[in-house]
Amino acid sequence: MKQFDIIERTASKIKELKIQGAENIAKSALQRIQEFSEKLEVNDKYEFINKIEEAKKILAESRPTEPLMLNSLNFIITMLEKNPVNEIKELKHLVSLYSNEFLHNLESAKNKIAEVGSTLIKDEEIVFTHCHSSTVMGILKKAKENGKRFSVICTETRPLFQGRKTAKELSALGIPTTMIVDAASSYMIEKANIVIVGADAITPKGIINKVGTSLIALAAKKAWVPFYVACELYKFDPRSLDETYIIEERDRNEIWKTKRKMIEIRNPAFDLTENEYITGIISEEGIQHPQVLIHIIQSKYPWLFRR
């Protein structure tokens, strides 16, 4: 359907990882929803919200493990429903207003995380990270701006090599970087002083991030290296309250294009790192243990818990 073209194009880019990382995904989804709603020709508010719901479903299906995108779109829909305005022109204006409000909150959360997280990095230390997280990059950039002298070990992050993006950005910032294959994590973590990774989702059991994160957490615990997660509280996944969380399974071709008899290829993109492995979550509320954080999220963002 032509009307949804703009949404479908963005959904494809997200699926193909041309847009990557929870925050970048949510930002582009919000921008597209603004453009989409601007062009909508509908008769009433009910139809207007329904179209946005449909667009939300298309976007959400592109990366099923991305509660930040889902929460940002749910925020707009919830606010529209609450607002007594019925006039279509006004509603379009409200979509922009609420999107910008969400983006603004996201940006200030990220700045706060960079500020707080950078204090954890000490001179001459080695930071270990995995995949590419814009939130972790914010922390490392801030630490560098504050004059800290440190280096980073990053994984290449198979099968799609997001670690190369991390390594390139770090070297551009003048931060000495060592890139390793994911399987070398257990060996190399012993040389690190601190692990900082991003997250796609916060759940009551732990955080969900790029596949391999839970093995890194395990290795960190064994080596007595503190394991921190940097993420905004908007990444809480309300679906996880009933013990379900979704791990996206990606195309087998990302791993091995050749098909062989009797060989099944599985390609989960994320995994769950349980709370017991997490030293602290660095969020806009400071640094807390994940179990405490759930209560903070509940009181700060009660709408996230709406079922």
4 versus 161: smaller Cβ distance to ligand RUB: 161
Which position among 182, 200, 237, 271 bears the catalytic label?
A: 200
CB of 197 to ligand RUB, least distance (A): 6
For residue 110, the number of C-alpha atoms closer than 13 Å in the C-beta half-sphere is: 20
45 versus 165: smaller Cβ distance to ligand RUB: 165
* Alpha-carbon separation of residue 135 from 22, 37, 49, 132, 290 (angstroms): 10, 29, 31, 9, 17
- Residue 131 designated active-site: yes
198 versus 206: smaller Cβ distance to ligand RUB: 198
Binding site for ligand RUB (CB under 6 A): 17, 20-24, 131-135, 162, 198-200, 209-210, 269
99 versus 209: smaller Cβ distance to ligand RUB: 209
CB of 25 to ligand RUB, least distance (A): 7
Which residues face 154 on adjacent strands? 129, 179
What's the CA gap between 198 and 236, in Å, rounded? 13
Q: Any residues with CB less than 8 A from the CB of 195 and at least 6 apart, and which?
A: 127, 128, 129, 189, 216, 217, 220, 225, 226, 227, 228
Residues 186, 217 contacting (CB under 8 angstroms)? no
CB of 146 to ligand RUB, least distance (A): 20
CB of 148 to ligand RUB, least distance (A): 20
Neighbour-count burial of 257, counting CB atoms closer than 10 A to its CB (0-12 exposed, 13-18 middle, 19+ buried): exposed
Which position among 131, 154, 237, 271 bears the catalytic label?
A: 131
Q: Which residues are catalytic?
A: 131, 200
